Every structure is written in C-alpha cells, then in structure tokens.
Structure 1
Amino acid sequence: MIKKLLQRVFKPATSNKSAPATPAGKVERISARVHRIDRKLLSNAAIKTTEGLQKAGFEAFVVGGAVRDLLLKQRPKDFDVATNATPEQVNKVFRRSRIIGRRFRLVHVMFGDEVIEVSTFRGSHLNEQGDAKVADTGRILRDNVFGSQEEDAVRRDFTANALYYDPASEEVLDFHQGVPDIQAGILRMIGDPVTRYREDPVRMLRAVRLSAKLGLKIDKATEQPISELADLLHDVPPSRLFDEMLKLFLSGHAIESANALRQHGLHHGLLPLLDVVLEQPIGERFVKLALKNTDERVLSGKPVSPSFLFATLLWHEVLLAWKKFEQQGNKPIPALHMAMDEVCDIQAEKMAIHKRFSATMREIWGLQPRFEQRAGKRPYSLLENPRYRAAYDFLLLRCESGELPAELGQWWTDFANADGEQRQTMLLPETAPKKRRRRRGPKKSAAGE
C-alpha cells in the first residue's frame, strides 16, 4: 500500500493528463464480505493487467460482463478492463499490447494465449470536443470521447454490465443498482431504451442473448421498444451482426435465443432460415436439432465449429435454391454449386459470415451428394476427405430430421466402422452407366512413307 501511494504521489505530472479524474458521484461500494466473488474464477491475466496499470498510477478495474458473471458464480469467458489511462498510455505500460479499432479505440494486452481488452473510460458522444460521429438515425458511428468512470458507467448498456471490480481492494463499484437487478433476475437498460437502441441497435440482440443465457427477465420498459425498432438492425455493418449472432448461437442457449429473436421480431433479414425455415416442419426440426447439438457441446465444454453451425442454419435455403436451378435444366452438381453461391451472396448482404467459415460451409454442403454414392471406390475416397467427419455429422442431422432415410446414415456409420472385407461386402451394385472408352483410330503414317 505504501509503495502504491508513493507511486501515485510521485508519478510524472503528464502521465495521465488527458484522462480526467473520477468525480465524486453516487456509487455504491460493495465489499468482498458482501459480494463474495470467488477469486479462483478470476483470470491471472486480468489481475496482472489491473495491477500493471495501477502500479503506473492509473485507475483500473475488471468491468462489465465479467463482473456480472462473477457475481452469478460463473467463470467468465472473457475479461475486459476499464481504466482512466488513454490507449497510448496503456500501450506504453504493456510490452505485448496493441491499439485496435476505429469506431472504439481499444488496447489488446496479451499474456500467453489470453487477450485482455482494455478500454479508456468513455465520456458522452455528444461532447463536441471529442472524436465522435453520430448518424441521422442516432446510431453512434465513432466514439473516442474519454471521460470519467461515472460517465463511463452511464454509457454502458445494462445495469448488470455497469459494474467495476478492483482485484486489489476486492470492492465492486455499482453506479446504477446493477447488483440488486442481478439479484432480482432483471435485465434493465441504463437511460431511455429507445435512445440507447438508436445509439447501437445491436443492444437489442444483446438483450435477447443475455436474457436467454443468464435467465434474466427483460425489464418491461427495456423490452417494449424492441419490436418497433427492429428495422434499425438493417443499418448495422454485416460484420458486427455476424459477431453478435455468433455469440448468441454459441451461448449454450441457442434454442431459447432463436425463439426470443422470433418473439421480438428481430430475426427478419438476419438469417433467411429464421424467416422461412422455422415455419416448415422438416426445416424447423433440422434447425432445432442443430441448435440442440450446439448447446450440448457448448455446455459440456466441447469445441464447436461456427462453420458447421452456419452450414446447418442455411442448409434449407441451399436446398430451395438447388431445386430451383435443377428445374431450370441444370445438372445436379452444377445446380448445387450455383445454389451455394446464391445463398452465400444473399447472406453476405445482411450478415457477413467470415470467409474462413464460409469456405468450410461450402465443403460440407458440396460433399452431401457423395453420401448417396455407395458403389465402387467412391465411398473409400469420401472417407479420406479432410471434411468427411463434419459432412458425416451433417448427414446424420439430415437423417434425424426426416429429410433423408435413416438407413443412409446408418450405412455410413457401419461402413466407417467396418474392416476391409466387411466394407467390400457392403458396397452397392454399380448402377451408373460405364464410361465408354474412346477408341483410338489407326496411326497416321509419317509423311513421305
């Protein structure tokens, strides 16, 4: 404590001149004896980040969703830190760090494989002195206005996310009654919900996700404007929508989240499947099986492939387009590739799926017709394909949903587990017409012979 005090007293006068001090405001300080956060759930990297900034003379707190999860006795997936140090000052404190972002300038601090995201306390985006830009709709396009901790708390979305935890003092700072709301199981917007949704429409998706994931009931005033303002999501960059939807579907509560999206009218235009497929019996069963499978893997700590997930979510759009192109006279395989191109192009306009995922999605889709080829050498070559396992799991979902006969999935399960002789006996008779070998004509005699 003495060392920290001396550092604060004798730190250079210019070390944090651009970051205003926290004004005395209405804040409830909750001690460790009351909140009972289990420090074993804290990330060492987050502790080192706050310690490093505090030793340099700055304020630093674990903030937002991590504090919320700690209060709920859950291990946070990510840890964010908020500070009164500017991004440049944070960057100087940590050797392994980098400044990122244009809309919101942040610093990523690296400790091994773990990345801690550090943000500077935000001020009001309406402040004319800062670097901010707002669209006519009210959506914040750029926001690099720094302020006090109290101002930063006002800028956060929900009361449950406006919490600050200091690992050194073990105090939780609560500016907006977030702790009582968490205890009451309520998700409440800070400020006027309409204004806050206009500032960032993604908050509507976040409300649905957090409600489903944490079992919090959305406050009436927070919930009421969502269906009316759903169209604002059309103005959000597709890449941001993808990131938020990925969090939603990988929350471990994807089914509840999908149902909540439909309930609040937020699904239109994000994923075609949620517009159409969930109204079709087979499509709905297929999607729900895929989401159930994803939830089970997430909750049991198993890895989940975003490529596989989105391949399932868009599959019935591919099926409809495939059928359309076949009816136009195209052969099955070229028609499938035309369908994949069309679905991916339409999807990219609304919610951009990263190329590294869409490439794998196409491979999974493209292998599906090959599962119906069970003669000759084709089954052997399919087993050796790098994407066989993902495509096989996809096939099983199609069979379970009733799209394909269960016998097909069972055949491939048995074939993969069989030995060489058994596999040979399982092959079906060749039905495709044999390719005719081109007969070579007589060799032409050399000139002059």
Structure 2
Amino acid sequence: MQRLIHKIKSFFSASDSDLSFQSPSKLKIIDRKQHGISRKQIDKEALDVLYGLKRAGYEAYLVGGGVRDILLGLEPKDFDVVTNAEPEQVKAVFKSRCRLIGRRFRLAHVYFGRNAIEVATFRGDGEGRQSGNRKQVNNTRAVDDSGRLVRDNVYGSIDEDVWRRDFTINSLYYNIRDFSVVDYADGMTDLRNGQLRLIGDPETRYREDPVRMIRAVRFAAKLGFEIEPRTKAPIYELGHLLKDVSHARMFEEVLKLFHSGVAIEVFEKLRHFGLFTFLFPQTHHLLSQESEGFPRMLVIEALKSTDARIQAEKGVNPSFLFAAMLWEPMLQRMEQHLAEGFSRQDAMFAAANDVIEQQIYSTSIPKRFISQIKEIWSLQFRLLNRHGNRPQKLSGHPRFRAAYDFMGIRVAAGDDSLKEVFDWWTEYQNLDAVDQVAFANDVEKPKGRSRRPRRNRNPYRKRSHGRGDQAETVSSDDA
C-alpha cells in the first residue's frame, strides 16, 4: 500500500509544474499532455461506446473509477460512460445491443457478448432546467422522510452532474472529443494528496444513499487513502441507515467489500466505524465474546485466504465468505439444539437454517449460495470420518475443496484439534488412487456412539416458517 501512495505522489510531482489545481468552484480542463491517460489503457468496448455517441452528435465522457485508476497507475476493472443523451436516445444509437434498466436510476447497458458498458445520462439538480428546446421539471426525483434518494431521473448537463457524484476522485471526466480531463471538484488534488472527500455536505449525501459510507471504507482500504475529516465524522453516527438499504443491494456491496483484495483492511475499518454490525450482526455479537482468538481469528484467516486467492487471480465464491462469517453463530446455535436433544446432524441443519434466516434480514443470500454454505458446514463433520471408502466419496463431492480449505482456516485460526485430520486429507490428496485406498484403510474405524434421542427427525423443516430456501436440504447442486 505504501508503494501505491509513493507511486501516486511521484506521478503528481512530475506534473505539478504544469498543473494549477482549481478550487472546488472553478473548472479545470487538463489537456492530454498533462494527465497521461492513453486510449490504449481503455477497453475497446468502452471506446466503441464513446465514439458511437460522439458520431451520433452527443457528448460522451469516461468517468468514475476507470479514470481514477488509470491516473493512479492501476488496472481499471470497470469503465462507465456518461452522456447528454437520454436513455432512449442511447438505445436508438446502439439498437439491439442496448438494454435499459433501473427505476431509481434509469441506465443503459450496451452489450458486447457477455460484457456490458454502463451508460448514464447526466443527472440534473432537480430544480428544472432548459434541455434543448424543452423544459424538464422536477417530477422524477424524490427522497423519503429520512433523506434517502428513492428516485433520481432528472437529467441535466455535465456541470450539474458532477455535484451529484459521490467522491471528488470519482468525479473526473475524460472527454473523448479532445482527450482532456475535466475536473470540477478538485479531484486531482485529492488524488495527489491521497485523500477521500465527499462532494457536498457529508451527512446529506450519506442520508441520500447510505451505501456511500461503506464505499468510503472500501475506497480508503483499496487505495490506501485517508478519509477527509468532514467526510469521516458522520459515519460513526449514521451506520443505522444501512438497515434501510435493500437486502439484495447489500449482498452485492458485501461482495465488493470482501472480494476487493484488501478484505482484512476493510474488516478492520468497518469495525472501527461501527458498520460491521449492520452487515453481520450475529458475528458482531460474538466478536465481543472472543475466546482465545475465536471467532475473530477465524474471520481474519478466512479473509486472508480470500485476499491471497484474489491476488493470485484465482476464483472466489461468496458461499465461502458467508460460511466463514456465520460459522461461529451456527456452532453456538447448534449447541443449543444439541442441548434440546437433537441429533448432531439435525442440530446442524436446524442451526444453519436459524442463522441464515437471521442473516437475510441484513443481506440477502441467493438460494444457490445458501445450499453451498450448508454443504461446507456439513462437510466439516463428515471429513472427520476417513475410514474405508468414505474418503473417496467425500473427495468427489462438489464442495470438497471448499470444505477442505475451510478446515484449513480453522486450523490456521488456532483449532489444534483438527490439525491431524487436516494434515491427513492434505496427504491423501497427493496420493494416487491405489495408495489412497490403502491409506484410508489404515485409519482406525470410528467406534459406534450412542445416539441422542430424536424429538423431531426433521426439526429444520418445522422451523422453516414457509420459506422455500429454509427447508432446503444439503444437496450437491452445481457450483
């Protein structure tokens, strides 16, 4: 992270003699010789959209994270386009390749195979403006009683649009007409200083969209930036507003947070600002009851593993993240069911349903991931039985590798009771098929154990309250 900050300062120090940064109220046009952005750094699909709009007579700019990351010497992941063309006009330009989405924010997606470039129309100030030969009035922008923006389809010009964006470093516009960078909000200065600053009054902006608080955390962790004091101060008090964000959107934001490659830093910052409790309330509750590093060290080890996979450009699965975050709450609930006389298997499934049902009041979890989470948890107990042909069957399970890795983070977090089992499975996987059979036959067969009396052979069905995903059994669905 320090190398990134040094690189940022080096870039801007080389440009300081050519640039005079504006105050937030003054426009600065930075020409192509001064900013260093090359079209070779922009995806061909994004360039096709920019040039397509330009040829149709519209203004077209690259904006947001794509511009920011190129200026910082990072590889951009997303390229967003903004234009004065309204969504229907964008669709007229790109025809069948364009799909209009959204109600709160009307957007156009231009598709190139499976990839899509998002195109947004300049947002206005909502006070009514002259747009060409027609007047647009404030009838498509609304906030609720808490100040949250619930609809925002008032269109405007670029000099209105900039004040509707979140952070100054995300409000730099790359103009495809002359290849300049347009800076209204002093974003270049904040890039140079490694500072994250909201545009406008921070409390108002957070109330408009509470997700901006966790975006601030993510950008600060990802870029190694400091959050500017006025931008930082309201976060400590306004975290409760996240409860009003749609659970589906919160699921997507959680993945962005913890699949960012800097998940450990994100986790620590979320706890610092008191935001983690609104994402994983059950886990947060147990964090205050740590015993010999658990569950905090388990979460840390899981995030460390996720960061390593992302840095190695390996795939990550949301089910692994949620399985790690909710493992300790599930175990605690499972112990309660065991005390009630449930069998171990029934206790685990009932606990899994209880904990997941509680979690979806904070973040939704798609059904396919719920099934995978349960499988990872169930395999933690099944992997303990390694005699005979069981290892061969278990190693062919679709979730075996995830479960093995999960056991690995449990060992790394300090659960020494599993080390011998984990080492056994590590060695087993390195043997050929014949040696695996012999290796498994050398394991002492587990002694029979008395069963607890069953009060209900399927207690988790009884507790499902009619929710289809809660009555789901642990089946081998596809990854």
Provide the TM-score with structure 1 as the length reference.
0.88
Counterparts of 1:381 and 1:353, CA distance in 2: 28
Question: Amino acid of the residue matched to residue 199 of structure 1?
Answer: E
Stretch of structure 1 that moved more, 349-358 or 178-187? 349-358
- Report deviation, 1:120: 0.5
1:237-316 equivalent positions in 2, closer than 5 A: 237-272=246-281, 274-279=283-288, 280=290, 281-316=293-328
Counterparts of 2:127 and 2:261, CA distance in 1: 37
Stretch of structure 1 that moved more, 172-181 or 120-129? 120-129
Counterpart for residue 437 of structure 2: 423
Which structure 1 segments of 5+ residues have no match?
1-24, 436-449
Stretch of structure 1 that moved more, 196-205 or 397-406? 397-406
- Report deviation, 1:168: 4.1
Q: CA RMSD in A?
A: 1.8
1:22-421 equivalent positions in 2, closer than 5 A: 26-94=26-94, 95-125=96-126, 129-272=138-281, 274-279=283-288, 280=290, 281-403=293-415, 404-419=417-432, 420-421=434-435
Question: Amino acid of the residue matched to residue 430 of structure 1?
Answer: K
Counterparts of 2:422 and 2:66, CA distance in 1: 42
Stretch of structure 1 that moved more, 90-99 or 162-171? 162-171
Contact kept, 8 Å, 1:62 with 1:82, in 2: the verdict is yes
Contact kept, 8 Å, 1:194 with 1:225, in 2: the verdict is yes
Contact kept, 8 Å, 2:388 with 2:440, in 1: the verdict is no
Counterparts of 1:165 and 1:177, CA distance in 2: 15
Contact kept, 8 Å, 1:99 with 1:107, in 2: the verdict is yes
Judged with a 3 Å threshold, the aligned counterparts in structure 2 of structure 1 residues 422 and 143 are, in CA distance, closer, same or farther, namely: closer
Question: Amino acid of the residue matched to residue 238 of structure 2?
Answer: L
DSSP 3-state at the match of 2:444: coil
Counterparts of 2:181 and 2:63, CA distance in 1: 9
Percent of aligned positions that are identical: 46
Deviations 1:36-56 (A, max 9, x none): 124332111111001001111
Counterparts of 1:399 and 1:367, CA distance in 2: 15
Contact kept, 8 Å, 1:42 with 1:75, in 2: the verdict is no
- Report deviation, 1:401: 1.5
Contact kept, 8 Å, 1:272 with 1:314, in 2: the verdict is no
Contact kept, 8 Å, 1:262 with 1:274, in 2: the verdict is no
Counterparts of 1:125 and 1:236, CA distance in 2: 23
Deviations 1:270-325 (A, max 9, x none): 11365134442121111111111111222232221122122112111111111111
Question: Amino acid of the residue matched to residue 119 of structure 1?
Answer: A
Judged with a 3 Å threshold, the aligned counterparts in structure 2 of structure 1 residues 303 and 41 are, in CA distance, closer, same or farther, namely: farther
Deviations 1:133-157 (A, max 9, x none): 2110000111111111111100001
Judged with a 3 Å threshold, the aligned counterparts in structure 2 of structure 1 residues 392 and 300 are, in CA distance, closer, same or farther, namely: same
Could you say which structure has the greater relative contact order, defined with CA pairs below 8 angstroms and 6 or more residues apart? 2
Counterparts of 1:388 and 1:196, CA distance in 2: 45
Judged with a 3 Å threshold, the aligned counterparts in structure 2 of structure 1 residues 92 and 219 are, in CA distance, closer, same or farther, namely: same
Deviations 1:57-78 (A, max 9, x none): 1111111111111110111111
Judged with a 3 Å threshold, the aligned counterparts in structure 2 of structure 1 residues 381 and 168 are, in CA distance, closer, same or farther, namely: same
- Report deviation, 1:130: 3.1
- Report deviation, 1:262: 0.8
Pick the structure with greater CA Rg. Answer: 1
- Report deviation, 1:432: 4.4
